[in-house]
Amino acid sequence: MRLALLFSGQGGQGPAHWQQVQAGIDGDLGPVILQAVPDIAERNTTVNPEKLAKNKIAQPLIFAQQMLLWGSLQSRLPRPICAAGYSLGEMAACSAAGAFTSAEGVALCAERAAVMDGAAAGEHGMLAVLGLDDGLVAELASEAGLAVAIRNAPRHLVVAGPQAGIAQAAARFEAAGASRLVHLAVHTPSHTPVLAKAAVDFKKSLDMLPERRLAFPVLSAIDATAARTARPALDALARQICTPLDWAACLQAVREMQPDAVLEIGPGNALAKLFGELAPEIPVRACDDFRSIDGIVRWLDAGH
């Protein structure tokens, strides 16, 4: 079987994912998870959406959840033909391919969150805009002091910038006939030049990791370039912090590799839905669609 992996980004995390990570803190990843997210040790802690949206919580938490899933799945799945990660998810894609260990990744995600928060003073947000031409979205975003951060598909962009600009732009997008506007649970102007310093700072840490061959190619979310060794994959991880993502191109690259099935690992199923719209001929599911690891394996074993 030719299996491709997609790793979710921020936005789909909820209390169930918090609980999944809590259940894993007795394992090998426990010490680094506890250091990155100390509250995870409090079994009765109430987690609300606002708390889960904070970078310092969301980034190490989501990465840990993804790697706990991957750790349970890896030995039961064929070696993937490729992996791609949406924003933060590219950290998990790189780790799954062997660019760095899961423990190193949890610590790196905590650092990534810290440098991103430190580079963007004030309140920021991200807004998905559907149903408008790309050029019009870019124009209206710029007028509101925002920038296009992600291209998910034709007429489906994500813009980012100051919250005041998000509110202003949302009104303009609605007036222009946008079919849908979605305020994302992310409070950072990710993938925009505002985070240029964060990209430089994060690269310094990534540069300390050794070069090694990856177990399978990792596609950069910036432009779908396939990295087969760690160094170009790590360089792309740093650049994507302040560079717009062309996720549509990334999904097209996955499609062109002709997988028999595609599996999304991480919170939510947004990436599976996007890929299903692009390539309805290829079976695609998300881990969150299943009740158990056995269910995921049975689906893949059923001939997909």
Which of 237, 196, 202 has the alpha carbon at shortest distance from 94?
237
Task: Tell me: pLDDT of 166 over 60.
Answer: yes
At the topology level of CATH, where does 124-183 sit? Alpha-Beta Plaits (3.30.70)
pLDDT at 138: 97
**Tens digit of pLDDT for each residue in 267-303?**
999 999 999 999 999 999 999 999 999 999 999 998 6
H or E stretch at 159: strand 156-162
Angle at 246 between CA 135 and CA 162, to 5 degrees: 65
Question: Mean pLDDT lowest for which of 24-28, 101-105, 112-116, 146-150?
Answer: 24-28
**pTM score, whole prediction:** 0.95
**Tens digit of pLDDT for each residue in 116-132?**
999 988 899 999 999 99
Adjacent-strand bridge partners of 200: none
pLDDT at 302: 86
Taking residues 146-172, report their average pLDDT.
Answer: 97
Task: Tell me: pLDDT of 52 over 70.
Answer: yes
When pLDDT is cut at 50, 70 and 90, the band that residue 304 belongs to is low
Q: Give the C-alpha separation, 301 to 303, whole Å.
A: 5
Q: Give the C-alpha separation, 266 to 148, whole Å.
A: 24
Task: Tell me: pLDDT of 199 over 80.
Answer: yes
Q: Domain 3-119+193-301 belongs to what architecture?
A: 3-Layer(aba) Sandwich (3.40)
For the four alpha carbons of 36, 38, 41 and 44, in that order, the dihedral sign comes to negative
Which of 159, 87, 161 has the alpha carbon at shortest distance from 124?
161
When pLDDT is cut at 50, 70 and 90, the band that residue 187 belongs to is confident
Which of 54, 56, 85, 66 has the alpha carbon at shortest distance from 24?
66
Name the residue ranges covered by the structural domains of the chain: 3-119+193-301, 124-183
